[in-house]
Amino acid sequence: MLGLFHDYYTKLYGLPTAPDQTAPDTTQRFLRTHLRSKLTPHMRSSIEGPITAEELHEAIKRTPVGKTPGPDGFTLRYYKTCEKLLSRAWLASFNGLTEPASHLAPQSLSATITLIPKPDKDHALCANYRPISLLNQDVKLFAKVLALRLANHMRHLIHPDQTGFIPGREGRDNTTLAINLIHAAQRPGAGPTLLLSTDAEKAFDRVHWPFLFQTLHHMGFGPNALRWITALYDSPTARINLNGTLSPPFNIKNGTRQGCPLSPLLFALSLEPLLQAIRANPSIHGVCVGCHTHKVAAY
């Protein structure tokens, strides 16, 4: 059974790339055509500056204790207790990642995946288990600092019709919108209307890294921010934990990392170019409610 899960996740996190996805020119042309979200110079500089002790303290304060640790066994309580002793070394390590050829240690990017059976599903299928990825706490704190910086600018970069993981927005906003669109389609005189609901299978796990990083670059992220985020995706690995037995490690080559505080924000950013292409497509007419035309809503 452990071997089956190992093979399943090795394939899921090592998806083959279509030839057109590997062509930088194709991606750049798509982003130049459709992506309009840009950081202002002030926003860019606020993300680019050196990480401070105050930011690290805020990340520690905002992270709940009592969570299962990652492969290295160090809990958040340990880091809370030793914050003053470790802070200077942490800052030197994290800020040093902006230097060329700097990277996190391979063991820092390892993860342990525990599997939880999904209710009312066929548990003979590997896809019907919910993976809980346990990352090392120091890396999660590093990602938390970046997430707190980025969260301040998500509402500027992400259109209001994308609500998931955006500070100040809630998924129920789009639920209310969907209900209003159904009512609008039922009004006397309303023409034929199609409301299409889709759900991307393993959406977080299928994010193509080159597309993600080209999107960030096109949005105006600076070299420091790009190096920090790239460091979190520099050859990470994972092992399956099944009843206390660990599988051999496997490489992760796609997807935003589950359990990482930065992951939901990166996913929202990677989705925005597609949503902007849909909004700009003249063949998609949308549904008019009041003075607004709605073409897409994303959770």
Burial class from Cβ neighbours inside 10 Å (0-12, 13-18, 19+) for residue 153 reads buried
- The rounded Cα 241 to chain-centroid distance in angstroms is 23
The DSSP letter of residue 39 is: -
Pairing of strands 110-117, 129-135: antiparallel
Query: Are 267 and 256 in contact, with CB atoms under 8 Å apart?
Result: yes
pLDDT of amino acid 21: 58
pLDDT of amino acid 291: 83
pLDDT of amino acid 22: 57
Give the helix/strand (H/E) hosting 281: none
Query: Are 6 and 250 in contact, with CB atoms under 8 Å apart?
Result: yes
pLDDT of amino acid 228: 98
Give the tens place of pLDDT for each residue, 25-79: 899 999 999 999 999 999 999 999 999 999 999 999 999 998 999 999 999 999 9
Burial class from Cβ neighbours inside 10 Å (0-12, 13-18, 19+) for residue 113 reads buried
- CA atoms of 102 and 67, how far apart (whole Å): 29
Torsions phi, psi of 113, nearest 5? -105, 120
Cα-based angle 243, 249, 251 (whole degrees, multiple of 5): 130
pLDDT of amino acid 290: 78
pLDDT of amino acid 96: 97
- Distance set, CA 252 to CA 21, 234, 237 (Å): 18, 9, 5
Torsions phi, psi of 97, nearest 5? -70, -10
pLDDT of amino acid 18: 66
Q: Which residues of the chain fall short of a pLDDT of 70?
A: 18-22
Give the helix/strand (H/E) hosting 54: helix 53-62
- CA atoms of 9 and 238, how far apart (whole Å): 9
Give the tens place of pLDDT for each residue, 7-25: 999 999 999 876 665 577 8
Give the helix/strand (H/E) hosting 188: none
Cα-based angle 18, 22, 23 (whole degrees, multiple of 5): 120
- Distance set, CA 157 to CA 12, 85, 94, 215 (Å): 29, 37, 25, 11
Query: Are 271 and 162 in contact, with CB atoms under 8 Å apart?
Result: yes
From 26, 39, 33, 13, select the one nearest 276 (Cα to Cα): 33
DSSP string, 195-260: ------TTTGGG--HHHHHHHHHHTT--HHHHHHHHHHTSS-EEEEEETTEEPPPEE--SSPPTT-
pLDDT of amino acid 19: 64
- CA atoms of 89 and 94, how far apart (whole Å): 9
pLDDT of amino acid 25: 87
- For the whole model, what pTM was predicted? 0.94
Give the start-end residues of each E strand in the chain.
110-117, 129-135, 237-242, 245-246, 250-251, 287-289, 292-294
